[in-house]
Every structure is written in structure tokens, then in C-alpha cells.
A and B are shown apart, each in its own frame.
Chain A
Amino acid sequence: DAKTTQPNSMESNEEEPVHLPCNHSTISGTDYIHWYRQLPSQGPEYVIHGLTSNVNNRMASLAIAEDRKSSTLILHRATLRDAAVYYCLYTDKLIFGTGTRLQVFP
């Protein structure tokens, strides 16, 4: 199984940056790292993906460790709408772990 390890929950205040870590020590050299988030009672939403280099898009940034055994999703300025469960995944078959529940306080 493609296992990832994430903290169960994290908290942030609005407008502050949030760094969501993920360990994926068994990742292979060709596996992409994906991040999705899920709001209550909704399907997951794609956030970002990467292979080796750090990636940026309009939603977030993805910082990938040099050995690729861990990565960090960075929300530069958290908003209340960013409160969700964040999942990091890898391998072609997306196996969802338990994810990190992010709470954002006004």
C-alpha cells in the first residue's frame, strides 16, 4: 500500500500561512505527489501535484524534500474557506490516508 503520514489536525488563524506536512517514505522515483482537499459532504478537490521540483499554483505551493520522502503543502494566507481535510497521496492509484483536518479561526 502507498502509505502517507500526516498530522490528524492543525489550526491556523486567518491571513496566516499554513504549512501542512506529509511523510511518504516509501515513494518511488516515478511517483507523483498529489494533494487534495475535501470540504464536509463534498467530493475532494485537486490542490496541487509535483514530482521533484517545488510547484506553485493559484491555490497553494508544494515544497518537496530533496529525498522526496516528505513534502509540505503551503497555503500562503489561510482563509475560512480553506478549512477542510487535506490529503497527500502518491502512486498512480490514489490511496487516501487519514488526512489533516485544518481549522481556520477568524
Chain B
Amino acid sequence: GAVVSQHPSWVICKSGTSVKIECRSLDFQATTMFWYRQFPKQSLMLMATSNEGSKATYEQGVEKDKFLINHASLTLSTLTVTSAHPEDSSFYICSAITGGYYEQYFGPGTRLTVT
């Protein structure tokens, strides 16, 4: 149980285009989902926290207009990278929790390459 999926697993896009990444909790309802970004050889950096039906809370330094997060249901959150640039190339990972923050379930990640 407690499986989180991400789609796509990898994507290549051209500079200036937008990319949508989906995060789904497959066998549980996620009250909260988190989005992280990870550059090569670096640790995960929390980008935003999203709760179903409400606006996402972004971490300091993360542009909310560039990284659009929608958490429309208890099993789906989406991250849209708008007007992507090469510096947005990274590994994007989502996670989900069912209640307290005691145990996060992470997705497999999405590797974004912007050319």
C-alpha cells in the first residue's frame, strides 16, 4: 500500500514551453502533497506544500507564477512549469501524506530536461 506515482517519469521540452507533471496517490487519500526539486548531486529542496482544495504554500524563493500547483482532489496534484528554461532542468519529486507528517510517501520522480 501507500503508493505514489508520477507522470511522466521523464520529459524533454523546448525553452519557453510549459510542462505539466502529475502526482497521484494510488491507494490512499492524500490530505497534503509536497513538491521537491533536486539538482544533480544535491539534496532535495522543498518547493511547495499543497492541500486539497486550497492554494499551495510556496517556499521562499520559489516563483509561484512559474511553478503552478493544483491539488484538485485527494489523490491528484499537478505541477506545471511555465515558460521553462534550461535552468529549470531538474529532478522533480512529489510526496503525499495522509495525516500527520510522520511518514511521507514519495513518488519516483520526474526528470525534466529543457533544451
- Interface size of B as a range: 20 to 34
- The answer to whether A45 and B106 touch across the interface, beta carbons within 8 angstroms, is yes
Closest 10 CB pairs of A and B: A43-B106, A96-B44, A96-B43, A92-B101, A43-B93, A44-B106, A43-B109, A43-B108, A43-B107, A46-B103
- The answer to whether B102 and A87 touch across the interface, beta carbons within 8 angstroms, is no
Q: How far is the CA of A43 from the CA of B103 in the complex (A)?
A: 14
- The answer to whether B93 and A32 touch across the interface, beta carbons within 8 angstroms, is no
Label chain A's interface by main secondary structure.
loop
- Interface size of A as a range: 20 to 34
- Which B residues form the contact surface with A (CB < 8 A)? 4, 6, 34, 36, 43-46, 49, 91, 93-95, 100-109, 111
Q: How far is the CA of A97 from the CA of B42 in the complex (A)?
A: 9
Question: Does A10 sit within 8 A of B, measured CB to CB?
Answer: no
Question: Does A65 sit within 8 A of B, measured CB to CB?
Answer: no
